[in-house]
């Protein structure tokens, strides 16, 4: 009889040892300690014993049950503790990722380049330190023009200057390539402007030029409309207003229907429904003559737009200086 | 330029209604005149009437106050408390009724008890009525006012100001008339004339006018004068002061105010001299002598040069032509005779002359954009008419007019077909003619289909066919131009290879975890000096500030500056790059500069850590090296010559890669002393890639190499290496010796200390082997390893660690 009890004790200990999760533990309980478990069966056998042996047997089985239950609860306790140690806390933050990223101005410039190249424009570049000839004279800007003053443009000590627009690239390109041509010139330009929320002594521009047979003011409008539609959506509208630039005639200021209120009027467009995007016009005959292109044979159009302005609109940036401060707390947002 | 709609209304009907103002702003925009701001001005005097003082009694309780009884016409008499000093029987003064909303008071007027006496209504000074800042006494109304007459009709004001941007080419629009003329053309209405008829001169008073030989062509083509007598200098009438103040001009006295008024209205700057100061009864117009001194009416003395135009009397200069009058001849309080000047000056002369003299004036601002030369008599008449009306003036003599160099306005040929060809908008010939004529352009038929057009005298920007085409489209409306889609894209256009390469490098850097920065090309000379004192820099002649006075000849300082900026702001993980130009002075180049494209990247601070499952690690040299190697792999750059050691800002911990002697890449630690000067105590590692060299060498595309699909056989080797031998040397022998079967190797531990003899260290290498065609077994690898170990021992004294 005692042997039977010892066997049961051993078997139980082994099973308990083997149980590593709550499911296995429940099975152990069911087999030995359950309502139809082996201990119950032992108690059932008591009836078959002679009466004088029964009390001793009862005590032994009860003692065994006490031992098993104690072992079981201890195991259950330890299993519970170990289970909660292994469970992952889903609310913990993942480790900070240090990803790379493009500067927001580069991202906007990329989009602009992508749209124009898909429309058949090439991308051309030129020097940032320029001669006055390329920056002004060749672009029909007379010597007395206010843009040439020290208070407007930045000059190098040796008499050269920092380009105030990327238009010199147009001249340089036209000197090398004959029409028909379609090009854009992205890049840095410089002005003698004190930095404030909307001004920067250095900023980025994209200028475009197309020269060919029979290019018209209407095509300039169509080209810019298509460009802004691809950038801001198909329902974008375009408005041309007369303006003056020395290198184009007729010249137009380009407005785009406000990308935020869709023309209804809001804070960004100052209730006008329009956003001013840049200048444009038909290339002035004097400019074409300067690069020995006959304005009777060819016509052309040109346009310019500011990348910062567009980035400020697209990303809701309210101070142009943020782009050049390079604070990681700013850069990481793009 | 500011304009007042009341003033504009003198020339064409303009409504102050919101919708009408909106339409006006839109019309102006579509004409090319952007309205930058608008402002409404309202001076409501409807609760104020004229009252006559009929009784004055002392206040029972205050010495300075009096009880004044006034006659209010139909409203009957009323007594009010008043403290003004200029109370006198019979005077007409403004009386504000109870409830009146006075411009100068915050709340509607209420009944008040002043020192025990109830006062119903009040007598007003300029201040309460919002007329001026003058609070010295009650506003005194003249005898034309009837008791009970409402002040609002004569002194009230309802106006809208527009601030309009006038482009450089449109001097003709720099006036009320100019704007009115444009609107009249667009709206097809007639311009109203302003009164300028003069009575017969009362005498023959005149000054002799002459323009010096040579000065007429490039200085002053026209000069006209008119003498007025019986002037009483005093305040201008209210309406005139209101208009001047509305457009931002300060009222001074009636004579000066009228010259300003005429300038604003006609766009033609004019001047009034005190006739007493015009000596020798003559005006001579000449160029100044170099170094000649002259004091303008603002009290400033200027040194002139030979191109400044001087207006002189018989003895001395009295005005700096077209720019500003002289102090010596300005109108004074007791002036009774004036010489009115209306002259024309060369735009470029005035532009450059005022710039050289450092004077900005309303006059110069107009002359430099071009002022109508043919309207001189009309302007003089208008000015004289106003002085007759406002200063009691009489015309003392005839207009003396010297038009020495009349402006030529040759005819311009315009081909209607060209209009369509350039615009892509079909405008019939008749419409072209209508548009041009509405702008005052004379048009007649020329040969064939051509039109011949002549610019009106007030326009200075119409010289070529294309200028006229712009006028046509402006009148037709820019919004009428259709939008056409691109026709025929030229296909054989060159691609921009350098941009593509630059973008390839840029995108690789982003994948490697770097953030792109964008910094100014103009930097502080001190900053550059700290990094590269040996390099010359391009200096800006007129910099914004010293810290933006040179063009950078290296990107590195900007990157370091940005890294330090961010580290100082607790941004611990700094991985930045920039791809842009470096500027090197170059006398051989047409721009005096060679611009090189560079990539510069920096790593500094904490590489990882501060997270619950990571241990902290700071960036080290090898973190950057790993990224550089990955970059080179992506660009498929091989056969580079490597060297160790740096100079300048690059510390000894620097690797440089060249190809055929041309430096391509530097990867290294920046000298701590250079960083310290920059206020940085962190270790900082930088990478610099010369993109022009890269373009020349040519980046390739990675070429596929077959890899084995057999299982790898792994072996670890711990080697005892003398300290003088580098990991690179060991690696070289391992790679050489095992190359037949070696697939990869990795240095996974470096150890010094217990169990390793002094002067040596342990390098633990993990090797993986494979063969292309079979499963490797120990017996394949063991002999190879054994041979290589022998070679390591022989060449480097390396032993296997026990």
Q: Cβ contact (<8 Å) for A217 and B542?
A: no
CATH number at residue A311: 3.30.930.10
Tell me: do A16 and A122 sit in the same domain. no
Q: Is residue A263 in some structural domain?
A: yes
Indicate whether A96 belongs to any domain.
Answer: no
Q: Mean pLDDT in each 10-residue stretch from start to end of chain B (802 residues)?
A: 95 93 95 93 86 89 88 87 88 90 83 86 87 84 87 85 94 96 95 94 92 92 96 93 92 96 97 95 95 94 95 95 95 95 96 94 95 96 96 95 93 96 95 97 95 97 96 96 79 84 96 97 96 95 96 97 94 95 96 97 88 84 95 91 92 94 95 92 95 92 87 93 93 93 92 90 94 90 94 93 78
Same domain for A49 and A183: no
Q: What backbone torsions phi and psi does residue B135 show, to the nearest 5 degrees?
A: -120, 30
On whether both A48 and A185 belong to a single domain, the answer is no
> Does residue A20 lie in a domain region?
yes
User: Is residue A98 one of the residues assigned to a domain?
Assistant: no
Q: Which domain holds residue A16?
A: 2-82
Cβ-nearest to A127 among B489, B562, B591: B591
Whether pTM exceeds 0.95: no
Q: For residue A88, is it within any domain?
A: no
Interface confidence, given as ipTM, is 0.85
Q: Any alpha helices (H) in chain A, and if so which ranges?
A: 2-18, 22-28, 38-45, 54-86, 104-118, 132-135, 167-176, 217-232, 285-290, 307-315, 322-325, 328-331
Distance spanning both ends of chain B, measured CA to CA: 92
Instruction: Give the span between the Cα atoms of A125 and A180, in whole angstroms.
Output: 18
Q: Is residue A137 part of a domain?
A: yes
Give the 3-state secondary structure of residue B275: helix
- Asked whether residue A179 is assigned to any structural domain, the reply reads yes
Q: How many domains does chain A have?
A: 2
Q: Which parts of chain A sit beneath pLDDT 70?
A: 83-86
B616 reaches A (C-beta below 8 A): no
CA of B759 vs chain A CAs: smallest distance (Å)? 39
Task: Give residue A83's pLDDT.
Answer: 63
Q: From the list A98, A282, A326, which residue is nearest B562 (CB)?
A: A326
- Dig out the tokens for B513 from the structure: 């975890």
First to last CA, chain A: 80
In angstroms, the CA B83 to CA B114 distance is 11
- Rounded Cα gap, residues B379 and B501, in angstroms: 65
Looking at residue A86, its pLDDT comes to: 65
Is residue A90 in some structural domain? Answer: no
Do A218 and A267 belong to one domain?
yes
What secondary structure does DSSP assign to B551-567, as a single string?
E-S-SHHHHHHHHHHHH
Please tell me whether residues A10 and A68 are part of one structural domain. Answer: yes
Are residues A75 and A150 part of one domain?
no
The verdict on A53 and A120 lying in the same domain is: no
- Residue B801, exposed/middle/buried by CB under 10 A (0-12, 13-18, 19+)? middle
How far apart CA B194 and CA B176 sit, in angstroms, is 12
- Per-residue pLDDT tens digits for B461-487: 999 999 999 999 999 999 999 998 876
CB contact, 8 Å: B37 with chain A?
no
Rounded to 5°, angle at Cα A150 from A145 and A153 = 75
Let me know whether A74 and A137 are in one domain: no
H/E stretch holding B293: strand B293-295
Residue to mutate among A94, A98, A178, with most B CBs inside 10 A, is: A98
- The strand pairing partners of B138, in sequence order, are B125
Statement to judge: residues A112 and A77 lie in one domain: no
C-beta atoms of B466 and A239 within 8 A: no
Final residue belonging to a domain, choices A34, A49, A82: A82
In a mutational test of the A interface, the residue from B518, B546, B597 whose CB has the highest number of chain A CBs within 10 Å is B518
- Domain shared by A267 and A300, yes or no: yes
Q: What is the pLDDT of residues A22-60, one digit of tens each?
A: 788 888 888 888 888 888 888 788 778 888 888 888 888
Same domain, A45 and A143: no
The H-or-E segment that residue B19 falls in is helix B18-31
Q: Are residues A136 and A263 in the same domain?
A: yes
């Amino acid at each position: 009889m005692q042997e039977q009890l010892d066997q049961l004790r051993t078997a139980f200990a082994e099973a308990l040892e083997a149980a590593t999760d709550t499911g296995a533990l429940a099975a152990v309980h069911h087999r030995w300690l359950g309502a139809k478990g082996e201990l119950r069966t032992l108690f059932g056998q008591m009836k078959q014993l002679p009466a004088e042996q029964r009390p001793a047997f009862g005590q032994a089985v009860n003692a065994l049950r006490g031992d098993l239950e104690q072992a079981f609860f201890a195991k259950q306790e330890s299993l519970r503790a170990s289970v909660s140690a292994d469970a992952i806390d889903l609310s913990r933050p993942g480790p900070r990722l240090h990803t790379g990223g493009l500067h927001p101005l580069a991202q906007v410039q990329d989009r602009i380049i992508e749209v124009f190249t898909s429309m058949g424009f090439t991308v051309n570049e030129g020097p940032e330190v320029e001669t006055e000839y390329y920056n002004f004279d060749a672009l029909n800007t007379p010597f007395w023009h206010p843009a040439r003053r020290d208070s407007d443009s930045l000059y190098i000590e040796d008499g050269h200057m920092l380009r105030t627009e990327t238009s010199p690239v147009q001249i340089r390109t036209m000197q090398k390539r004959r029409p028909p041509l379609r090009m854009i010139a992205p890049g840095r330009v410089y002005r003698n402007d004190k930095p404030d929320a909307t001004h920067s002594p250095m900023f980025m521009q994209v200028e475009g030029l197309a020269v060919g047979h029979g290019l018209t003011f209407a095509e300039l409008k169509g080209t810019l409309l298509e460009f802004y539609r691809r950038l801001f959506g198909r329902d974008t509208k375009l408005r041309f207003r007369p303006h003056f630039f020395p290198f184009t005639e007729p010249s137009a200021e380009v407005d785009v229907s406000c990308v935020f209120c869709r023309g209804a009027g809001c804070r960004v467009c100052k209730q006008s429904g329009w956003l001013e995007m840049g200048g444009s016009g038909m290339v002035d005959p004097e400019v074409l003559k300067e690069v020995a292109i006959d304005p009777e044979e060819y016509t052309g159009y040109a346009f310019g737009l500011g990348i910062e302005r567009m980035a400020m609109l697209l990303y809701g940036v309210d101070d142009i200086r943020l782009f050049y401060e390079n604070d990681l707390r700013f850069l990481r947002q793009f | 330029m500011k304009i007042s709609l009341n003033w504009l209304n003198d020339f064409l009907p303009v409504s102050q209604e919101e919708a009408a103002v909106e339409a006006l702003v839109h019309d102006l925009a579509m004409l090319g005149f952007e309205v930058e701001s608008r402002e409404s001005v309202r001076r409501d005097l409807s609760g104020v009437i004229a009252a006559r003082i009929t009784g004055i009694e002392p206040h029972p309780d205050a010495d300075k106050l009096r009880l004044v009884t006034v006659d209010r016409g139909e409203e009957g008499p009323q007594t009010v408390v008043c403290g003004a000093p200029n109370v006198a029987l019979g005077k007409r003064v403004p009386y504000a009724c109870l409830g009146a909303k006075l411009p100068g008071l915050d709340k509607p007027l209420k009944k008040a008890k002043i020192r025990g006496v109830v006062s119903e209504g009040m007598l007003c000074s300029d201040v309460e009525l919002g007329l001026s800042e003058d609070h010295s006494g009650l506003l005194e109304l003249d005898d034309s006012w009837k008791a009970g007459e409402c002040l609002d009709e004569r002194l009230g004001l309802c106006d809208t100001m527009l601030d309009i941007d006038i482009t450089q080419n449109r001097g003709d629009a720099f006036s009320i008339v100019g704007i009115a003329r444009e609107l009249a053309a667009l709206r097809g209405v007639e311009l109203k004339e302003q009164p300028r008829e003069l009575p017969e001169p009362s005498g023959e008073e005149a000054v002799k006018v002459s323009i010096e030989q040579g000065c007429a062509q490039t200085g002053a083509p026209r000069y006209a004068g008119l003498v007025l007598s019986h002037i009483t200098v005093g305040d201008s009438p209210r309406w005139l002061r209101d208009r001047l103040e509305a457009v931002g001009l300060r009222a001074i006295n009636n004579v000066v105010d009228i010259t300003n008024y005429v300038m604003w209205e006609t766009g033609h700057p004019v001047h009034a001299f005190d006739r007493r100061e015009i000596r020798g009864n003559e005006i001579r117009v000449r160029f100044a002598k170099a170094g000649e001194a002259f004091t303008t009416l603002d009290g400033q003395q200027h040194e002139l040069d030979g191109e400044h135009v001087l207006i002189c009397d018989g003895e001395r200069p009295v005005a700096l032509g077209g720019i500003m009058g002289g102090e010596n001849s300005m109108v004074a309080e007791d002036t009774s005779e004036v010489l009115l000047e209306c002259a024309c000056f060369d735009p470029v002369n005035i532009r450059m002359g005022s710039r050289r003299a450092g004077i900005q004036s309303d006059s110069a601002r107009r002359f430099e954009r071009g002022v109508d030369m043919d309207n001189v008599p009309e302007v003089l008449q208008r000015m004289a008419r106003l002085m007759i009306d406002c200063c009691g003036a009489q015309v003392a003599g005839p207009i003396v007019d010297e038009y020495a160099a009349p402006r030529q306005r040759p005819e311009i040929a315009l081909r209607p077909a060209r209009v369509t060809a350039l615009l892509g908008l079909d405008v019939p010939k008749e419409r072209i003619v209508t548009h041009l004529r509405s702008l005052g352009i004379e048009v007649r038929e020329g040969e064939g289909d051509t039109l011949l057009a002549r610019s009106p005298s007030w326009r200075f920007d119409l010289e070529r066919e294309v200028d006229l085409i712009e006028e046509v489209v402006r009148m037709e409306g820019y919004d009428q131009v259709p939008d056409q889609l691109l026709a025929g894209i030229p296909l054989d256009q060159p691609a921009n290879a350098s941009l593509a390469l630059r973008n390839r490098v840029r995108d690789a850097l982003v994948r490697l975890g770097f953030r792109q920065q964008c910094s100014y090309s103009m930097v502080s000379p001190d900053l550059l000096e700290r990094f590269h004192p040996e390099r010359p820099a391009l200096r800006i002649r007129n910099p914004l500030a010293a810290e933006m006075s040179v063009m950078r000849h290296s990107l590195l300082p900007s990157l370091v500056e940005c890294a330090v900026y961010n580290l100082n702001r607790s941004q611990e993980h700094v991985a930045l790059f920039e791809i842009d130009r470096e500027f090197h002075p170059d006398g051989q180049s047409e721009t005096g500069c060679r611009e090189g494209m560079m990539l510069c990247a920096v790593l500094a601070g904490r590489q990882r850590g501060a997270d619950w499952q990571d241990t902290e690690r700071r960036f080290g040299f090898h973190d950057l090296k790993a990224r550089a190697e990955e970059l080179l792999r992506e660009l498929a750059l091989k056969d580079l010559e490597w060297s160790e050691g740096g100079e300048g800002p690059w510390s000894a911990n620097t690797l440089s890669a060249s190809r055929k002697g041309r430096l391509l890449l530097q990867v290294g630690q920046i000298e701590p002393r250079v960083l310290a000067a920059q206020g940085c105590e962190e270790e900082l590692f930088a990478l610099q890639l010369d993109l022009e060299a890269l373009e020349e060498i040519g980046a390739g595309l990675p070429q596929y190499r077959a890899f084995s699909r057999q299982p790898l056989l792994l072996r670890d080797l711990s080697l005892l290496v003398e300290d003088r031998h580098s990991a690179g040397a060991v690696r070289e022998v391992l790679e050489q010796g095992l190359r037949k079967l070696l697939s990869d190797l990795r240095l996974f531990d470096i150890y010094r200390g217990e169990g390793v003899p002094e002067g040596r260290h342990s390098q633990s290498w993990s090797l993986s082997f494979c063969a292309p065609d079979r499963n490797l077994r120990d017996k394949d690898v063991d002999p190879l390893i054994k041979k290589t170990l022998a070679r390591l021992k022989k060449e480097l004294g390396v032993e296997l660690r026990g």
